[in-house]
Amino acid sequence: MWKTTIAVTGLTVALGACATANTPQQELAYERWAKCTSPYTQIEGVGVDGRITFQATNASSQQEVVQCLADAGRNGPPLPEPRVVRPVGGQ
């Protein structure tokens, strides 16, 4: 009985570790975000394909970050275009 409990616990831990690991595309996206973020933006998340979703409080900040991410993509593996969302009350 205890062997079954240990095996199930081990399997649960192993599966949990796999579920929390980032894909290579996500790692790349987070690296690019760290270089391209601005004070008026906030990351919402990164999809498994590397698509960055972020909030921008103004159009200027949005364009700046989108351009930076596009430039970064020219010098490395491509990622999907970022998705921009406006925060509640944003312009």
What's the pLDDT score for residue 4?
A: 54
What's the pLDDT score for residue 90?
A: 54
Query: Is 70 in contact with 82 (CB distance < 8 Å)?
Result: no
What percent of the chain is predicted at pLDDT more than 90?
66
What's the pLDDT score for residue 75?
A: 83
Decide if pLDDT at 20 tops 80. Answer: no
Write down the pTM of the prediction: 0.74
What's the pLDDT score for residue 22?
A: 97
Distance CA 21, CA 38 (A): 26
Distance CA 32, CA 49 (A): 14
Decide if pLDDT at 56 tops 70. Answer: yes
